[in-house]
Amino acid sequence: MTQNTTGRVAELKIDGKVYTLPTLEGTEGDKAIDISNLLQETGYITLDSGYKNTGSCTSSITYLDGNDGILRYKGYDIEDLAEKCTFVEVAYLLLHDELPNPRELAQFKQLLEQFALLHEDMIHFFDHFPPYAAPMSILSVMVNCLSSYYPEMGDDPLANIDITAARLLSKIRTIAAFSYKKSMGQPLIYPRHDLSYCGNFLNMMFDNPVRPYLVQPAVVSTLNKLLILHADHEQNCSTSTVRLVGSAGVNLYSSISAGINALWGPLHGGANEMVIQMLEAIHNDGNDFIKYINKAKDKSDPFKLSGFGHRVYKTFDPRGTIIKQACDEILEVLHVSDPLLDIARELEEIALNDEYFVKRNLYPNIDFYSGIIYRAIGIPTNMFTVMFALGRLPGWVAQWTEMSVDPSRKIGRPRQVYIGEKQRNFVALDDRG
């Protein structure tokens, strides 16, 4: 990835000696100091716990401005993509740098249809998971296994990346739906050629021989929007994991499997589950949301309001604004009355007008409403993070591919500052008192 150096330098003074470090600037004004030669020239490294101020790469995929609440994929505002595109179009955009024309979209859809089925041998894998195995665990294992069934990536990982990406996008949807069916003890529902990407997923999830499922356009539209909003989000924990694992030359399937495991964490992809659990706890406590607002303000109380605030957004999460509207619309269409939504609205109203939350930029984020939408369309809580993974997959593939073709790529190897014991004399076993 070409770096756009500014010609300006930063000066670092250590023990009276001045070192010059080159700077670079992104197309949207991101500024960075290039410290790639810092250790070699000075003997020092930087220490940045959680990588809050460290850029691990340059990238042309996603632009995020946390101060102004801006999110763009390949230069397109997330608001436009969520309103005017399908998830398949956005997946194509992330993988190919441009939105597809009608012919390209038709070809991409044909590939997704072609690869929708799982190898029949893999279907037997589901029989060997415990009945209540976590769907994210199943998803990670099954995606990792794909490398054994489709080993062609070993010869030239990038030769058939379009086919590999389409295969992953299509099969991960089938794996997710099948894992749900197995957990419910219901027969598997195979994909249909006449349904869209999201329509197929919904049908595989909820259709059964005694109660056929009607795929509703409004639900398909909402699911498209949710997946688009999750499609990529710069160098977050799971995406960084995919890049780090991939930097060692690990194949795409196994790199994605590692990303799925990273996403599983409650501080990352599992956050929308925590929102529902919090809303349920408030509901079971007599809807006393004021009590929980006060708990959140109490520094001595470990309780935190789930679904508020974001690591990078310092104003509002633009995805949260879109998803709130989508939530209102789908609940009205489905005639769903959810007491948890009433609590969510009360919490949001208070947080948006309470100085404590406003001062700390604790605005509702994407996780705050996504769980309520998933509940409304019938997706159980333990599948929420799986839905996140479905949406994030094209971003992971795009990030892995970008990392793989970067001529400056090196295996990821963070440094550390050692704070343990200094060298000690060895004492033989018999002499240790």
> Above 80 in pLDDT, residue 132?
yes
Q: Distance between CA 181 and CA 150 in Å, rounded?
A: 25
Query: Which token pair is 68?
Result: 């102004």
Lowest mean pLDDT among 10-19, 199-208, 298-307, 397-406: 298-307
Q: Which residue has the higher pLDDT, 267 or 1?
A: 267
CATH of domain 271-376: 1.10.230.10
Residues forming CATH 1.10.580.10 domain(s) in the chain: 80-227+254-264+386-396
Cβ-contact 242, 101 below 8 angstroms: no
| Predicted local confidence at residue 311, as pLDDT | 81
Per-residue pLDDT band at 433 (split at 50, 70, 90): confident
User: For the purposes of burial, counting CB atoms within 10 Å of the CB of 429, is it exposed (0-12), middle (13-18) or buried (19 or more)?
Assistant: exposed
The question of whether 230 is a catalytic residue gets the answer no
Residues forming CATH 1.10.230.10 domain(s) in the chain: 271-376
Q: Distance between CA 344 and CA 372 in Å, rounded?
A: 9
Cβ-contact 72, 229 below 8 angstroms: no
Choice among 207, 232, 317, 367 that is catalytic: 367
Cβ-contact 372, 336 below 8 angstroms: no
User: Residue 272 corresponds to which amino acid?
Assistant: N
Choice among 207, 230, 233, 310 that is catalytic: 310
Q: Dihedrals φ, ψ of 116, to 5°?
A: -70, -30
- 5-58 under CATH 2.20.28.60, yes or no: yes
Angle, helices 197-206 vs 87-96, to 10°: value is: 120
Q: Please tell me the number of Cα atoms within 13 Å of 192 on its side-chain side.
A: 14
> Above 70 in pLDDT, residue 417?
yes
Query: Which token pair is 357?
Result: 């939350």
Query: Which token pair is 280?
Result: 């349920």
Three-state secondary-structure class, residue 77 = strand
> Above 50 in pLDDT, residue 225?
yes
| Predicted local confidence at residue 154, as pLDDT | 66
Q: Distance between CA 426 and CA 407 in Å, rounded?
A: 46
> Above 50 in pLDDT, residue 216?
yes
Three-state secondary-structure class, residue 182 = helix
- CATH superfamily for domain 80-227+254-264+386-396: Citrate Synthase, domain 1 (1.10.580.10)
Q: Which of 137, 146, 171 minimizes the C-alpha distance to 261? A: 137
Tens digit of pLDDT for each residue in 362-373? 888 888 889 889
Lowest mean pLDDT among 183-192, 217-226, 232-241: 183-192
Cα–chain center distance at 293: 28
* Residue 53: DSSP 8-state: T
> Above 90 in pLDDT, residue 106?
yes
Q: Distance between CA 387 and CA 177 in Å, rounded?
A: 10
Q: Distance between CA 353 and CA 18 in Å, rounded?
A: 49
| % residues pLDDT > 90 (the chain) | 72
**CB burial string 6-43: b at 16+ within 10 A, e below:** eeeeeebeeeeeebebbebeeeeeeebbebeebeeeee
- DSSP secondary structure, 130-191, as one string: -TT--HHHHHHHHHHHHHHH-GGGGT-TTTTHHHHHHHHHHHHHHHHHHHHHHHHT------
Measured from the Cβ of residue 102, the count of other Cβ atoms closer than 10 Å reads 7
Per-residue pLDDT band at 4 (split at 50, 70, 90): low
Residues 6+ apart with CB under 8 A from 43: none
| Predicted local confidence at residue 1, as pLDDT | 44
Q: Dihedrals φ, ψ of 208, to 5°?
A: -150, 160
Residues forming CATH 2.20.28.60 domain(s) in the chain: 5-58
What is the average pLDDT across 152-178? 87
Per-residue pLDDT band at 308 (split at 50, 70, 90): confident
Tens digit of pLDDT for each residue in 199-210? 999 999 999 999
Tens digit of pLDDT for each residue in 14-54? 999 999 999 999 999 999 999 999 999 999 999 999 998 99
Does this model's pTM top 0.85? yes
Residues 6+ apart with CB under 8 A from 53: none
The question of whether 367 is a catalytic residue gets the answer yes
| Predicted local confidence at residue 266, as pLDDT | 87
Q: Distance between CA 45 and CA 414 in Å, rounded?
A: 10
Per-residue pLDDT band at 2 (split at 50, 70, 90): very low
Chain mean pLDDT for the chain: 92
